Chain A
Amino acid sequence: MATREIAGKQIEFDDEGYMTDHTQWTKEVAVVLAAEDGISELTERHFAVIDFMRKEFEANGTGPSIRKLTKQSGVPTKELYQLFPGGPAKKAARIAGITKPQGCI
């Protein structure tokens, strides 16, 4: 656990750098987290993914799988990997302020 000040807010993170309370999230926070992950600009397409992830999280308590993301958000897999290089599910979840995707077993 760690608390950091981002965009003027005190925000809590878990050990792996994911926000523990998704309601503290704002677009400004997303921009800072994205920059930390090497994404210098968040476009509309990024936000299409981020918004979808947040909606899913609010409805189900966990982020969507990549398959669900690409099926339902309208962003094809190829583009998803271009938007969030090196692991879209995890990266997009971190920037969207939700917990790490449950992943697999």
Chain B
Amino acid sequence: MKKLVILGAGTAGTMMLNKLEPVLDRDEWQITIVDQFETHYYQPGFLFIPFGIYNKKDVIKPKRDFFPTSAEVIFSAIDRIEPKENKVSLQNGTVLSYDYLIIATGSKIHPEETEGMKEAGWHKNIFDFYTIEGAMALSKFLKYWEGGKLVLNIVEMPIKCPVAPLEFVFLADWWFTEQGIRDKVDIEFVTPLPGAFTKPKASNVFGDFLDKKNIQLVPDFNIARVDSEANKIISWDEKEVNYDLLVTIPTNMGDEAIARSGLGDELNFIPTDKETLQAIGHDNIFVIGDATNLPSSKAGSVAHFEADILLENFLCAIEGRALRAKFDGHANCYIESGFGKGILIDFNYDTEPLPGKFPLPGVGPFSLLEETKMNHYGKMLFRWMYWNLLIRGSELPIEAQMTMAGKRR
């Protein structure tokens, strides 16, 4: 029997398992998947929890519901990978050997990387919403908050779902309006980037939205520390921003197991071939999702497009054929913009987000780089698609490769 081991049963790992299981011959292949937790979180839903739109039960399901019966499932933390020996040691003492390895261990936040962040103010008036705990705590806080200065700060790039911070302030603007206290709240968006987003055209469009919604943009702010007694954040070049409520997107890093395995860069992301998705220097290891160091967005939609490429290349690799599928960096993100509307962007390594219609050129129903009600429905529909199609490995009506059809320069 040949052995395929998948590390991480989040969005990408579960999806890969469900794509490979039906095509690999059961008499030839044993597939094993490993994760430390039994609960699957729909992370895009975390955004909505602080505003009471979703609660905890809307974003969790047992991981087991999504595993095919033939796969071996192990719930244990991964200690380390030994790529030279083709082995993985788990914290429960098990050692797995593999012929092929797919790493999908994702990324997570590290507030302790910023001086002063995890001190007295943590989960009192400093919150994250990238974890279920952070999102729930913030939801409780907001219920009783009477207003003041809300600062959203991105600590450093890259972060997963780079549009989520923008969505957060757009939704906050809407939510405080609904609560009747928008005039008592100042919202500031404090970012290390030179503008509202990473890509120039979209950055301008989002910058205009911030303006329209009366949200102040503070660009080029690289946070050095938090002073949680004086309630201010201070940059490396000694600029200061005061807050009453700080919502932080802390440093995002790959898992420590990757560092222990000597496979990661300075943020524990795995150097990965940006086209084939093989780990650089390891022909029998593929990497997918947030765990890679690819210059693409870290998003579920990206993992989905990568999965099609990985599947094709994996099948080539096991038959000794040259890898022919090439990932183009395709990302497709619905951006909730408040008041029942949304914005959609579609882009890849080489083409920045452009205006137009999607997925049918000229028809839509979704509009690129524009705020519409339909885009909001797309965002809300995404949860259903996620649980029912995406992580089950089903086809979605969007091609893995980005297309220029329907886009305007």
Contacts and interface: CB of A to CB of B under 8 A. Distances in A.
Contacts of B224: 77-78
A20 interface: no
Nearest to B271: A60
A85 B266 contact: no
B157 A103 contact: yes
A68 B158 contact: no
A81 B236 contact: yes
A105 B162 contact: yes
Given A68-B266, A104-B162, A86 B198 contact: no
A80 B235 CA distance: 13
B295 A102 contact: yes
A87 B220 contact: yes
B143 to A, nearest CB: 34
Contact of A81 (B198, B237, B266): B237
Contact of B156 (A67, A87, A102): A67
A105 B266 contact: no
Nearest to A68: B266
A86 B237 contact: yes
A65 B220 contact: no
A103 B265 contact: no
A71 interface: yes
Interface string B204-237: 0000000000000000101010000000000011
Given A67-B266, A67-B267, A86-B220, A105 B297 contact: yes
B275 to A, nearest CB: 15
Nearest to B159: A104
Number of contact residues on A: which range applies? 10 to 19
B222 A104 contact: no
Contacts of A102: 295
Contacts, number: 39
Contact of B295 (A66, A68, A105): A105
Contacts of A78: 224, 236
Number of contact residues on B: which range applies? 10 to 19
B401 interface: no
Given A78-B224, A104-B198, A85 B295 contact: no
Given A86-B220, A104-B198, A105-B295, A71 B266 contact: yes
Contacts of B157: 103-105
A4 B297 CA distance: 36
B323 interface: no
Interface string B139-183: 000000000000000001110001000000000000000000000
B193 A104 contact: yes
A85 B237 contact: yes
A104 B297 CA distance: 9
Nearest to A104: B157
A103 B297 CA distance: 12
B113 to A, nearest CB: 9
A86 B236 CA distance: 10
B296 interface: yes
B111 to A, nearest CB: 16
A104 B298 CA distance: 11
A69 to B, nearest CB: 9
User: Which among B157, B193, B266 has the greatest number of chain A C-beta atoms within 10 A?
Assistant: B266
Interface of B: 156-158, 162, 193, 198-199, 220, 222, 224, 236-237, 265-267, 295-297
Interface of A: 65-68, 71, 77-78, 80-82, 85-87, 102-105
Given A67-B156, A81-B236, A105-B158, 4 more contacts: A65-B267, A102-B295, A103-B198, A104-B162
23 contacts: A65-B266, A65-B267, A66-B156, A67-B266, A67-B267, A68-B266, A77-B224, A78-B224, A78-B236, A80-B236, A81-B222, A81-B236, A82-B237, A85-B237, A86-B220, A86-B237, A103-B198, A104-B158, A105-B157, A105-B158, A105-B198, A105-B295, A105-B297
